[in-house]
Amino acid sequence: MRLEGKTAIVTGGGSGFGAGIARRFAEEGARLMVADINAEAAEAIAAEIGGIAQPVDVSKGESVAAMSEAAIAAFGTVDILVNNAGITHLPAPMEDVTEEDFDRVLAVNAKSVYLTARSFVPHMKANGAGAILNVASTAGVSPRPRLNWYNASKGWMITATEAMAVELAPHGVRVNALAPVAGETPLLASFMGEDTPEMRAKFLSTIPLGRFSTPQDMGNAALYLCSDEASMITGAVLRVDGGRCI
């Protein structure tokens, strides 16, 4: 019960890594808001773990503000924020990615961190405590070809994590990031371009431990960084990548 008495929000919590993080937090005693652009998916996970669901488009300021207001109304306080929602563009030469796809990737993967900070940081500062976890990617550490603007968005998130950590440390707010390798999530096919045995084998050949990351892997790592056990850790980027970035 490492999160007993804590409240947490997980964006993109309706599936994949977000669902794994939400489940793990609930197992450890946290009260959860499962936020997702897919309201039905959020409701399903929330019902499973005894949390509350919140529809949100993390790229829209008014939607993030509504999520913040709903969380404060429901919980009274927010102790943990997990910025997990993310998307990618399909693998392509950098010059062939459409402007629409570029804008969407940066809005969901980068702008969202700004928007949630705008809504939640003042609350955490007032409390003198809080933990923010940004779900980045090995793509931001060791980029793959043909995912250029996705790589860049996750590199932005890593730099933002470090900058936020330095600025918020005097206020008792910790900010860390996870950098997973490709995992068993709805985005896997988009990363690979196509989900075939041959393409899976190609991806797995770059991961020394020989498997994709799982929602459970991410839940365990997120639990540590957001718990009081990690009270001296801020600005860290924990690679959950099976050795991919070595």
Active site residues: 150
Helix ranges restricted to H, the chain: 16-27, 39-49, 61-75, 99-106, 112-127, 148-168, 188-192, 197-204, 215-226
Tell me the sheet residues that pair with 178: 135, 238
The position carrying tokens 């099976």 is 242
Cα 70 from Cα 48, distance rounded (Å): 20
Task: Write the secondary structure of 107-133 as one string of H (helix), E (strand) and C (coil).
Answer: HHHHHHHHHHHHHHHHHHHHHCCEEEE
Half-sphere exposure of 5 (CA within 13 A, CB side): 3
Structure tokens at 22: 């939400």
